[in-house]
Structures are given as structure tokens and as C-alpha cells.
Amino acid sequence: MKKKLISILIANLFVAAPAFAQSDAFKLEGSVSLGGIYTDEDAVDAAKLNDIRDLSNGALFGWDIKGRGGRYWLDFFGENIARDDQYINLRGGMYDVFKYRLYTDSLRRNQVYGAITPYAGAGSGNITASGFPLLNTATWNSLDVGYDRRDGGGFFEFQAASPWYFRIDGNQVKQSGTKMGAASQGMSPGNGYIDMAFPTEYTTKNAAVEGGYSSKKLHVAMSWMTSKFDTDNESVSWTNGFWNSGTDKTYLAQDNKYSRFLVNATLRELPLASTLAVRYTQDELESSFGVGTTVLGIPAGAPSGTSAFQLPTGPNNANYDGKVENETFTVALASSPTKGLDTRLYYNDFKRDDKSTHMAFTSAAVTADTYTNEPYSYDKKSWGIDAYYRINRANRVGAGYEDLKMEREERFDFGTTKDKTWFAEWKTSMIEGVNMRLKYTDLSRDSEFKLANDGVNANDVAYWNRFLKAFDAANLDQKKWKFTLDASPVEFLDLGLEFNHKDNKYADMVLGRTSDTRREIYGSVSYGDPTVARWTVFGDYERVQYDSTHRVVGSSTPTTPPGPYDPFAAPTSANYNWSGTNKDQNYAYGLAIDVPATEKLLVKASFVYYKTDGQLDFAAPPTISAASYPQPVGAYDDSKRTAFNLKGVYAFSKTLSITGGYAYEKYDYKDAQFDGYRNTIPAANRADSYLMGYYANPNYKANIFYGWLTYKF
């Protein structure tokens, strides 16, 4: 597929060359590069090193060609040709008549090299095994888990009838390979679970047409888009060791199609120097498939040792017809009623209508409970106004207000929420060579909570629904600050600084997330005459903290009022509240230097260090015994990445140069969840777990050597 597309693109380029040659003074210029790369890696599993990029040993080939003439123009770019991360882009056209683009963009997602599994047929739609338990990993099968992604397409736009225009777009995204997945062996992972390599053979085809009118005063456009997603595997059948080696099934992504209609209009040069913009969209997502009517297991209440077989799930419909319709409408009026004053008034409406089949699964053979899906529809409306006033040439102030109302029709816990947001901003350049900006934003959310009266009393398990809320829709007080500074106080010196602070307080939250805070600061300094030497140093620090409160009910037997499901009840050794604090800190700093060592030699060097530091802390009442007291986790998603790059470019002449370089990378990952990683977790009654090695050995160290010759013409 790669070779065919490359051939077509290059053939089209040379076929078009005679026509270009006849145009007015058409000239081609650019460069072609040819070289190679060698990587010396030290890694048990080098998938992390090669994820999204191809560092394998081999050739490097690319080009960058530009053509300009009195009538035609052309840009033709290619890099990493015939490698996993190949990119080719061809753009061109005839001035004021047409323009076009053809491209192909590739990458490979590598998840595990040398994964192991006790199953045969891993990565297919049917994986099998026998002789459970299978705890001897020496007999397992090996495979690499990852998939190729290819995105190819283009567009053509006709402009000769200006101010009218017409455009057509199309592309295809294809994914081929495998990706990590998992399934539980019993009715939950408590009965054991297995890692699997899910087959990933996806094709998404997109097409769009657009037509419109564009002039100085008016722009109107209409477009229609369609997208079709196809998969070769809608499920995976596999041998379930817990259920007596019966054949189980895990459902994967299903075929679906999407379409969208859009109208967009902009009217300029209205009274008060106003511009009116209106936009309307309507889209639809559909998917239809047969529902699984059986599940592997043993009948509810059956004696121990009963053989597993397919139990009916009792669906109320044999087919699921998924259908979601979205409709948006936006109107905005931007004006300059007086000198120095800019205003904007806007209104947005977003409606989501979930018309999918309402499913209910009721089967006494499996459970006495009924399981239903939850279609999700809502209507979100907002309006706002903001204004900026230029006090003088060096100072500009602004303020704004937005009112947002969201009505959820079928969400079980929250109905209507109302957000009120206002901001104030100041921009200044009072100091010569210095630009500063300070912005404050305040958001207040008021929510309709539907479970405030759940449960008869504190002895009813439904009672604690009154206190446990999802933070995404809960009452919220949010404060945000943002400060930026860009300065060039003297020649060849550039300074940059950015600070962000966001503080969320979830009002009235008893159980669940109570608050979260985010702080970010970034700074950079660049200095030096580019003709002599120039260096840049930067630093970045980010910190996120999530605070939450939870409750353990180890005994549902009421002792003293108010009962075990009341979070305000006095703690006991069995029933108590506990709190958790999750902290994530990210650090990054780096240095880059560009030095024209001689008239013909340019040397570039860079160093970047990146670190993530996660922590998880717990707090529980003193009624908990020391032996069972939750312990803090220091190594919680910690990582370090060090990268160094040294590159030199030597110009033999105006047309020929050589580039050579060396890069060093080191990555270390530490997480308590992966300490002592094992491929098997033995358990009683065949509830064993089988892991393939994902994130067992992500650490790597690599020395990378590369170079190429470049010919310019």
C-alpha cells in the first residue's frame, strides 16, 4: 500500500511537470535527503521506545520540494519514507482557480514486545486453551502486541467562480494489528481475569462536500459529511478456565456510521463595526447489531461443582439499534461601538437526543436483578457577553459573564445544572519590550440532585446515595488565575513566563471527590546573537491534587442510631469513613544551544529532563487496627525521561550538506501496582489470572546515531 501510493504521488508530480514548464516562469526548488539510523537499545521490552515512532536500524529518505510560477504552485514533502512513521504530503493548485492536497500519514502503536499468553490464536477472533490451570509460563506462546495506523486522503477545492467555491474532502483511516484487552473469568474479576490481544482490524472512511460564497462582507457555507466505521471482528471467543473450559465471548467495537450537516454564515461591516456569525449543525450516529442472548456460567443457586453452560440473558429486544442525534446552534455578534471598545454577545444551544433502544436483561437463571442501559439525552443552553476597553495604547481591560443551563433527561443522579461564570482581564505593555496579561475567572454551579431522599433510613443501603455524588455534575465553586509575560528587554534576550492556578471546591460533597487543585508554571529564557551563538533554557512545573472522602460498611447490622449507612455516624472498627489524597507532580526542564562553529558548520545541542511523581495518601479513624490501616503509596505512576541530542550540519557548498547526530534517551517507570509483576496469579477453584506482560518492563535506554546527505536544487 505504501509503495503504490508513493508511486502515484511521484508519477503525478512528473506528469504535471510539462504543464508547469509551459506556465509563466515556473520554478522548482527544494532538497532531497538520504541517510541512515542506527539504534543501540538496552531494554527488556522496547515497545515504549518505539511507540508512535520508528527507531529501527535502516535507511532514512525524504524530500522537500516547492514549485512556484505565474499560474501554478506546488509543495511536495516526504519524510521517513518506507518506515513505520512515514509521512508524505502533496499540495498544489492554480492561483484563483483550484487547489488540492494528497497525503498519507503512518504510525505504529507498540504496546508490548514479547508478550506471553497460555492461549493459542492470540490476536484472532478465537483463542483457545486446555488443561487449566496453566501456571507454567515456559509452555506459553509469545507475541508482539501493537497495530499500524494509516491515514490517507486529500481534498480538491474549486475557486474559479469566485466568490463562489466548491470543495470535496475524503480520507481513509485503517488500523491493523492487535491491542491490549482483558476479560473477567467469572461474573467479576474477583473470579480471576485474563489479558488478551484483541484483534484490531478497523477501517474508517470519511467524505465531505462543501460549497459556499465568500466575499469581503459575506461568507456563507454549507457542508455535508459522512463517516463509516467497519471492523472485521465484533467479538472474541475464548476458553474460560474458571467456567470449566467453556467457550466465553467478549464483545468489541461494532460497525457504525456518522453523518453531519452544517450551515455557517458570517456577515461583516454592519453598523457599529459589527460582525454577525451564525452556525447550525445537525449530526447523527447509528449502530445496529444483534444482542448476546446467552452468557457462560452456572445457574444461580446451583450446587458447587456444577458444570458451566450457556445461560439465557433474557433481553427484551433481540437487536440493539443505537442512534444519537446532536443539534447545535450558535450566534455571535462582535462590535466596536466606540473607539477603543470591543464587545461580543453570543448564544449557544447544544441538544443531544439519545434514541437508542432501551435494553433490559432479566434472567432468573443468572441473577434476580434486572440490568438496563442508560440512554443519555440533554439540552445545554448558554449565553454570554464580554467587553474589552483600551484605556490607552499600553493598557486594555476586559470583563465578561456567561450563563449556562444544562437539562439532563435520563441521568439517574442529576437533573438540571446551572453554571454562572464571570471573568476580568488586564493586558498591559506599559514597560517597553514587556507584554503582560492577568485573567481571573470565577464559576459557580448549582445542581439538581435527584437522590437526596433515597433510602428509608440509615439502615437501608440506598440511604448513602444521599451523600455520594459524581463530581462532574455536583455543586461547584471554581476559581482560576492565569498570568503570562513575554519580554524582550534588550537585544537578543527573550523571556517568557506563564502561571495557571485552578481551585475546585465541590460544595455539599460528603462522599466522593471534595476538591481538586491544579497549579502550573512555565518559564523560558533565550539569549544570543543567532550569527554567533544562541541558547534557550526552560522549566515547567505542574501539580495536581485530588481530595476525596469514602465510607466502608463492614457490617450492615445496626448497632446504635443513626445506622451503618450514615456517614455522620460515629466510626466503629467495621463502619467508618476514610479519606484519600492523590497527588501528581510533573517536572520538566531543558537547554538548547545553536552555535555556528564556522562559516560552514552549525552545531545544535539540546537536553530535556521530564519527571512525573505521583503519591497516594490515606487517612482513617483510630478505631482501625494498625495491622489493617491503609498505607500511603509513594510510587504511584512515577516516571523519568532523559533526552540528549547533539547534531551538526556541515555545508560543503550551497547545494550539498551533511547532517550527523547522536541522541541518548533513558526512561524509567515505577508504580507500586506493577511491583513484583507476575504473569500468573494463582487462586483456588480455578479463579487464576493470566497476564501477558503489559507494563512489566517499560524501562529502556538507547543510544541513537543518525545522519544524511542533503542535496539542494
At residue 625, the pLDDT reads 72
Contact 181, 204 (CB under 8 A): no
Own/partner long-range contacts of 44-47 (Cβ < 8 Å, ≥24 apart):
44/114, 44/696, 44/697, 44/699, 45/112, 45/113, 45/114, 45/693, 45/696, 45/697, 45/698, 45/700, 46/113, 46/700, 46/702, 47/110, 47/111, 47/112, 47/113, 47/144, 47/145, 47/146, 47/698
At residue 402, the pLDDT reads 98
Over residues 442-492, the pLDDT tens digits come to 999 999 999 999 999 999 999 999 999 999 999 999 999 999 999 999 999
Four-residue CA torsion sign, 116, 122, 123, 128: negative
The three three-digit cell numbers of residue 623, written as one number: 478505631
At residue 298, the pLDDT reads 86
Query: Minimal CA–CA distance to 39: which of 663, 667, 455, 523?
Result: 663
Over residues 12-61, the pLDDT tens digits come to 544 444 444 455 688 999 999 999 999 999 999 999 999 999 999 999 99
Contact 453, 402 (CB under 8 A): no
At residue 673, the pLDDT reads 87
At residue 559, the pLDDT reads 56
Ranges of the chain whose pLDDT falls below 50? 1-3, 5-11, 13-21
Other residues' Cβ atoms within 10 Å of the Cβ of residue 456: 8
Write the CA distances from 127 to 123, 199, 244, 295, 663, integer angstroms: 8, 11, 16, 17, 41
Q: What one-character DSSP code corresponds to residue 307?
A: P
At residue 626, the pLDDT reads 65
User: What does the longest C-alpha to C-alpha distance in the chain come to?
Assistant: 96
At residue 636, the pLDDT reads 85
At residue 47, the pLDDT reads 96
Write the CA distances from 221 to 94, 215, 263, 326, integer angstroms: 22, 12, 6, 20
Query: Minimal CA–CA distance to 291: which of 356, 230, 376?
Result: 356
DSSP 368-384: SSEEE-----EEEEEEE
By CB neighbour count within 10 A (0-12 exposed, 13-18 middle, 19+ buried), where does 147 fall? buried
Contact 114, 142 (CB under 8 A): yes
Distance separating alpha carbons of residues 484 and 487, to the nearest angstrom: 10
Contact 338, 406 (CB under 8 A): no
Helix (H) or strand (E) holding 436: strand 434-449
Strands 575-596 and 601-619: antiparallel
Contact 343, 385 (CB under 8 A): yes
DSSP 151-166: EEEEEEEE-TTTTEEE
Distance separating alpha carbons of residues 148 and 203, to the nearest angstrom: 12
DSSP 519-550: EEEEEEEEES-TTT-EEEEEEEEEEEEEEEEE
Laid out side by side, the sheet with 246-251 consists of 126-127, 235-240, 246-251
Residues 6+ apart with CB under 8 A from 660: 647, 648, 706, 707
At residue 166, the pLDDT reads 96
3-state helix, strand, coil in the chain (%, to 5): 5, 60, 30
Query: Minimal CA–CA distance to 699: which of 187, 39, 45?
Result: 45
Distance separating alpha carbons of residues 447 and 475, to the nearest angstrom: 5
SS3 (DSSP) at 22: helix
What is the 3-class SS of 645-689, one letter each residue?
Answer: EEEEEEECCCCEEEEEEEEEEEEEEECHHHCCCCCEECCCCCCCE
Between vectors from CA 235 to CA 234 and to CA 241, what angle results, nearest 5°? 175
Helix (H) or strand (E) holding 392: strand 378-392
The three three-digit cell numbers of residue 590, written as one number: 531543558
